Amino acid sequence: MKHLLSINDMTIDEINRVFEWSEKLKRYVKEGIEHHLLKGKTLGMIFTKSSTRTRVSFETGMYQLGGYPLFLSANDIQVSRGESFYDTAKVLSRYIDGIMIRTFKQSDVEQLAKYGTIPVINGLTDLLHPCQILADLFTVKEYKGDLKSLKLAYVGDGNNIANSLLHGCSKIGMALSIATPKGYECDPAVINNALQNAKESGAVIELINDPVKAVENADVIYTDTWVSMGQEQEKETRIKAFKDYQVNKELWAHAAKDAMFLHCLPAYRGYEVTEDIIDGPMSKIFDQAENRLHVQKAIMVMLMKDNK
């Protein structure tokens, strides 16, 4: 594994290794075991969009690993004044040991990886959010064990979260049902990848418009904001389009008895999810957020440690 640009680039062995490292590094934190697996390494973190979790978990994670996290706000680096990702990748490769980038275009992340000589980690694009979904699946595994025997239902926008869920579940062989309104479906190329992966893994992938059918007997119910970063002008139209896709008590009644609720956060209570669900006992959103730290530390160790 050279980069983490998309879960679709990963083998099932690599996904399992991320989970094994995550479990180990999480245990080290809980037991206070000192280690500095990335001593002397620097991670550059480029953000052209806002972040709470991604920034803090990568920054803290790198510190805990003995390395140095260098925050590079897009406003302050020359990319914002038109410097190419080609030159940026070449130059940063001379100084630092890895790049984490959150930005709009997946192709910009791919360019950094193509032209640089250091590992690149995708910290969210309009298309994908692979670190999030690896942390989410790790969280489900902690609570429910064997992922292959479970069904996850995603209700809402066919956005970066839904796209990376398609990659993750189809690679692992976990049943995934996605319900979106018409016109807000997942990316066609990602759907294609997932259907191909499913042939090998045995995953049952369902892409529908009916939230009740999606949630039927699901072990995990997942939703995300109806208005992602960069879509602020579409807010009113989106709220109307998604009004029947709220995760609430009525929808929950169709899920499996001990189902769990996930949301990548930030959440908007009263829109995509009601308070009784997101703040109820079925909600594991803060474990999910915590696991970003452990899983991303695992990813950094796998990509950046010498003699992995």
Residues forming the active site: 102, 129, 132, 224, 264, 292
Q: Which is nearer to ligand NVA, 159 or 193 (CB)?
A: 159
Taking the CA atoms of 136, 141, 146 and 150 in sequence, report the sign of the dihedral they define. negative
Question: E strands, the chain, where?
Answer: 42-47, 68-73, 98-102, 120-122, 151-155, 175-179, 205-208, 220-223, 260-263
Q: Are 88 and 78 in contact (CB under 8 A)?
A: yes
SS3 34: coil
Should residue 161 be labelled a site residue for ligand NVA when binding is judged by CB under 6 A?
yes
In the shown chain, the binding pattern of residues 202 to 241 toward ligand CP, with x for contact by CB under 6 A and - for none, equals ----------------------------------------
Q: Give the pair of three-digit tokens for residue 228.
A: 């992602």
User: Total number of residues binding ligand NVA (CB under 6 A)?
Assistant: 9
Query: How many angstroms separate the CA atoms of 167 and 147, rounded?
Result: 14
In the shown chain, the binding pattern of residues 52 to 71 toward ligand CP, with x for contact by CB under 6 A and - for none, equals xxx-----------------
Should residue 132 be labelled a site residue for ligand CP when binding is judged by CB under 6 A?
yes
Degrees to nearest 5, angle at CA 196 with 295 and 289: 20
Q: Which is nearer to ligand NVA, 67 or 156 (CB)?
A: 156
Should residue 229 be labelled a site residue for ligand NVA when binding is judged by CB under 6 A?
yes
Residue among 29, 51, 66, 144 that touches ligand CP (CB under 6 A): 51
Question: E strands, 235-282, where?
Answer: 260-263
Which listed range, 68-76, 156-164, 214-222, 235-243, lies at the site for ligand NVA (CB under 6 A)?
A: 156-164
Query: How many angstroms separate the CA atoms of 136 and 288, rounded?
Result: 6
- Least Å distance, CB 229 to ligand CP, is 8
Binding residues vs ligand NVA (CB under 6 A): 124, 159-161, 224-225, 228-229, 264
Binding residues vs ligand CP (CB under 6 A): 51-54, 124, 132, 264-265
